[in-house]
Amino acid sequence: PFSGQNNNNSNKAGGVRGIFNLRCTMLGPLAEIHVKVERALKNRAIVLRKMTDALYSCEDRGLRFEILIEHVQGHLHTIKFKRLEGSWWAYKKLTVAVTDDIQSSEVMVR
């Protein structure tokens, strides 16, 4: 779990736990990834709080979830979602839509 409660020792070898696919990976500087994540959440009117440098707490109409951005290597990062409360189906639809928004967004560099 993202909230600091690690009850499972399956991650000792440094492997990635949970669902992991290319939709959840991003290549780029961490600051740029934060901009994309925050923009995608705000565009969908999702209430978000940045808890740490890598963890967001989010709420949307009775659905509560967390987003964790983890560094893999170099400029490669993974974005992980964790449902805390609410409908599983609504959570799935929302996370698919948010990941699509994140993947398709462009960051303006000045």
pLDDT for 43-69, tens place per residue? Answer: 999 999 999 999 999 999 999 999 999
Residue 110 pLDDT > 70: no
- Mean pLDDT in the chain? 80
One-letter identity of residue 21: N
Q: For residue 26, what pLDDT is reported?
A: 86
Q: For residue 107, what pLDDT is reported?
A: 55
Q: For residue 20, what pLDDT is reported?
A: 44
Distances (CA, A) of 72 to 30, 83, 89: 11, 22, 29
User: What is the value of pTM for the model shown?
Assistant: 0.74
- Name the residue among 21, 3, 17 with its Cα closest to residue 99: 21
